[in-house]
Amino acid sequence: MTLTLVGMKQNELIRRLSRIGIWLYAMLHSAVLMVIVTIVGWWLAFNAELMLAVVAVAATGSLFATPAIVRALGFDSVQAMAMTIATTLVLPLSIFITLLFFQTEKVELDWLSYFARLIVFIFGPMFFSFWVHRLCPEEALSRFLMKISPYTILLVFAFPFGLVGSFRILFDEDPSAALRFFIIASGLCCLFFSLSYWVYRKQGKAIALTAAITSGNRNVLLTYSIAGALLGPAFLPLAGALQIPTYLLPVLTRWLNKKLP
């Protein structure tokens, strides 16, 4: 987030965040997809634990690495950053509603952990970027950003390895259950990606693909950090399985960018 935000003018990012369209996207990203996933889950007769897990994934904000991926694909990273921040800010409400409807235990979120992560991953980097642009010559800063941009992508690709542990344990213990989680995770990722692309397709290919990949990338680790065990035993294996299709989204998006008119 820091390396990506340093390459952005913070006043432009704040202007994007003030637009109603960004918050309408956040509603699509969470509320609309939560309803759709719930209907699909009922239709497929998911048990209570799996239903809670899939709706919680739908409630989850976009991955913090998304703007770096979008920039690497040649799209508008400022737009992706605004979308990522908006979906992260609505996450507490989305996950609270999810737990209220699908969790029978008392709902207690880890607000301290959530706000700490907001400061570390969003507001801290924004503040740092503001002062870097204020104090450093733009020409020298541009040269520096060109040199470090490849390392940003390396960090992005390293991220999923931290979440696949629970899925690997499940795969060792019950391969058929692991395959089921993988199919569900891939289906969720495809649903998020394709629906967002369809909604934004009339605004142009670049905007549609930016919305699609932002919707497909889900920051499940942040959701788990604030809700923890309330998400049930199915959430971590599903979150681990979700990393595989998420990892392939940039490749799919680049291919679609070449094929679509």
* Residue located via tokens 């542990």: 165
Q: Answer yes or no: are the C-beta atoms of 215 and 29 closer than 8 Å.
A: yes
Q: How far apart are CA 87 and CA 219, in angstroms?
A: 10
Q: What are phi and psi of 155, to 5 degrees?
A: -65, -40
pTM higher than the cut 0.75: yes
CATH 3.40.50.620 fits 2-259, yes or no: no
What is the sign of the dihedral through the CA atoms of 149, 154, 159 and 160? positive
Q: Are 110 and 226 in contact (CB under 8 A)?
A: yes
Could you say which residues of the chain have pLDDT below 70?
1, 104-105, 107, 145-146, 148-163
Span 8-40, pLDDT tens digits: 777 888 899 999 999 999 999 999 999 999 999
CB 215 within 8 A of CB 192: yes
